[in-house]
Amino acid sequence: MSDCASCAVRCRAICASLAVDEAAELGRMGRRQRVKAGHTLLWEGDEAPTVANVLSGVLKLVVATADGREQIVGLVFPSDFIGRPFAKQSPYRVTAMTDAEVCIFNRQQFDDFAGRHPHLQQKLLHRTLDELDRARHWMMLLGRKSASEKVASFLLDMEERLPGDPGGGSGGFELPFGRQQIADILGLTIETTCRQLTRMRSDGLVDLPSRRAVRINDRARVAAMAG
Amino acid sequence: MSDCASCAVRCRAICASLAVDEAAELGRMGRRQRVKAGHTLLWEGDEAPTVANVLSGVLKLVVATADGREQIVGLVFPSDFIGRPFAKQSPYRVTAMTDAEVCIFNRQQFDDFAGRHPHLQQKLLHRTLDELDRARHWMMLLGRKSASEKVASFLLDMEERLPGDPGGGSGGFELPFGRQQIADILGLTIETTCRQLTRMRSDGLVDLPSRRAVRINDRARVAAMAG
DNA sequence: CGTGCACTTGACAGTCATCAACTTTGGTGG
DNA sequence: CCACCAAAGTTGATGACTGTCAAGTGCACG
């Protein structure tokens, strides 16, 4: 059983839509679980999967071809929701990119609970609609943008979305993953991704103080570059 | 006001979740409207937009860059839902690909109504989750598949999704749009799309009896080609 | 201090976009 | 019914971009 009172994302997660007693009932169904970086929580096509809230860490949603190519189709941050309610199979793989902590529910139980709590469903609907908008805009990037536009768009998106940006925006930010993962997000190879970053650094658009740190120097030009 | 009793998609649209009197109330809010092929129903960034059910025809959801490149991010068929509930702006352009007929609602009114009718919201949630799954799988295609894989995947997807497949599956099907649109769906140019189709025809995988008609001869090989 | 892994850089090749010309289709009017 | 026209589709030549393969660098770890 989860200890909702101490939950770091209590205010932002879908649970926030519930009254105290309702939250308590849901809490009894949930279980906290740690996931190590690189560990997979849900496999594509998994039967009888679970759903979960993310408490900390970053996870990725991955779709892969038979021959091993991977495309990251979504990033999941703290307070975000994981899993596929109302379906027997998970449509994609969910893997932790950093050490993470999640609050897990049995899907069947969760579905039943959701059916009895319209507010929870409404929250879920809002989130799903937002995710759909994000996914569709990403489709534009994947289908129509060049490598340089992709990388520029990516950096702007990450600056905006990454939680706990230390230094408050002007101090740059720290990516929670490496070059290969960036490539898998953008539909590029690691080499192309790398070259674009190097060029942006030589052009003075960004600083790359360490492997995973990024600081955008000229936001206007990066935005122009993003198309 | 719509005449729900004569609605062609009454059983399949989200309205099907409502009781008779509820449906009547919703019906009083809706208005039937014809949209000609090529006409745009909703512009990206539109304020105060509407939502709608599709009664007949096919529409596309489009995201465009400033310099005019377009990516089709979704296709909308009869009984599908159009628009963005609970948001002020439409996140993408909605354009009719064929002559179409839709049942339009004022978004604000619809949102209010949905808030009072959990069953409708649940139906909407289910649909949105399905759309999200579809969009994410399409991201894999856009980001990681080659031109030939894209075209093969496209044909299989269309064969499955197209309504009113005359001849019951073995007789092939008729695309509701031209080559440029296929290219915009797949993130390719029209020339590349065309060449791939020509090659598939020469290889005997498909017949292309007319501009828009397709017949898959060797489904297994097309599926293998789709990756 | 050495080892391994992530990252970077380079050379080359293939795929797909671009530009251009040509063909077919479908519609219109004589 | 046929001729003509515009739009859609097809084909070809060429080149840019990005993927592939390979080697090298630098950082973190033991």
Tell me: do A52 and A26 sit in the same domain.
Answer: yes
The CA angle A196-A200-A201, to the nearest 5 degrees, is: 120
Q: Are residues A78 and A159 in the same domain?
A: no
In three-state secondary structure terms, B184 is helix
Please report residues of A whose CB lies closer than 8 A to that of B64.
140
Residues in chain B predicted with pLDDT less than 70, given as ranges, are: 1-2, 164-170
Q: Examine the domain organization and report whether A48 and A122 are in the same domain.
A: yes
Residues in chain B: 227
What's residue B41's pLDDT? 94
pLDDT at B46: 85
Residues of A within 8 A of B136 (CB-CB) are: 61, 63, 73-74, 91-92, 135
**What pLDDT is stored for residue B167 in this prediction?**
53
What is the rounded average pLDDT of the residues A20-37?
92
Q: Is pLDDT at A31 greater than 60 in this prediction? A: yes
The whole-chain average pLDDT of chain A stands at 93
Mean pLDDT of A100-118: 95
Q: Domain check: are B50 and B160 in the same one?
A: no
* B134 in any annotated domain: no
How far is the CA of A155 from the CAs of A164, A223, B123, B226, in angstroms? 16, 10, 36, 32
pLDDT at A164: 64
- Pick from A54-63, A92-101, B12-21: least confident: B12-21
Nucleic strand D near CB of residue B29 (< 7 Å): no
Q: Which nucleotide is nearest to A193 (CA to C1')?
A: D18
Confidence bin at A168 (pLDDT 50/70/90): low
> Does a structural domain hold residue B133?
no
Residue B123 and residue B151 in one domain: no
| Nucleotide minimizing C1' to CA distance for residue A178 | C6
Which residues 186-215 on B are within 7 A of strand D at the CB atom? 190-191, 194-195, 197-198, 208, 211-212
Window 185-224 of chain B: CB closer than 7 A to strand C:
187-189, 191-192, 210-211
Which of the listed residues B79, B103, B128 is the one where a domain comes to its end?
Answer: B128
Indicate the residue among A109, A142, A175 that finishes a domain: A142
Domain containing residue B113: CATH number: 2.60.120.10
Residue carrying structure tokens 């109504």: B113
Name every chain B residue with its beta carbon within 8 A of the beta carbon of A65: 140, 144-145, 227
Determine, yes or no, domain membership for B111. Answer: yes
Beta bridge partners of A173: A214
Mark whether A95 and A18 lie in a shared domain.
yes
Number of domains in chain B: 2
The reply to whether B72 and B163 lie within a common domain is no
Q: Of A65, A91, A139, which is closest to B71 when you measure between CB atoms?
A: A139
- Shortest distance between the Cα of B227 and any Cα of chain A, in A, equals 7
B21 and B114 share one domain:
yes
According to the per-residue pLDDT averaged within each range, which of A4-18, A153-167, A178-192, B45-59 is highest?
A: A178-192
Q: Do B132 and A131 touch (CB under 8 A)?
A: yes
**Distance, CA of B155 to C1' of C27, in Å:** 29
The pLDDT assigned to A49 comes to 87
Is A179 found in the same domain as A107? no
Cβ of B211 under 8 Å from any chain A Cβ? no
DSSP reduced 3-state for B71: strand
Q: How confident is the model at residue A192 (pLDDT cuts 50, 70, 90)?
A: very high
Task: Tell me, yes or no, whether B209 lies in a domain.
Answer: yes
pLDDT at A92: 96
Q: Å from A132 (CA) to D15 (C1')?
A: 37
User: How confident is the model at residue B2, as a pLDDT?
Assistant: 54
At residue A78's C-alpha, the angle toward residues A74 and A84, to 5°, is 50
Q: Which of A142, A175, A204 is the last residue of a domain?
A: A142
A19 lies within 8 A of chain B by CB: no
Domain match, B88 and B9 both: yes
The nucleotide whose C1' lies nearest the CA of A189 is: D19
Q: Is the pLDDT of residue A166 over 90?
A: no
Are B20 and B98 contained in the same domain?
A: yes
Tokens at B226, concatenated: 């789709």
Residue A68 is part of which domain span?
A: 4-142
Q: Are residues A63 and A94 in the same domain?
A: yes
Contact B48, B107 (CB under 8 A): yes
CATH number of the domain where residue B163 is located: 1.10.10.10
Q: Where are the beta strands (DSSP E) in A65-181?
A: 70-76, 81-82, 93-96, 100-106, 173-174
CB atoms inside a 10 Å sphere around CB A28: 12
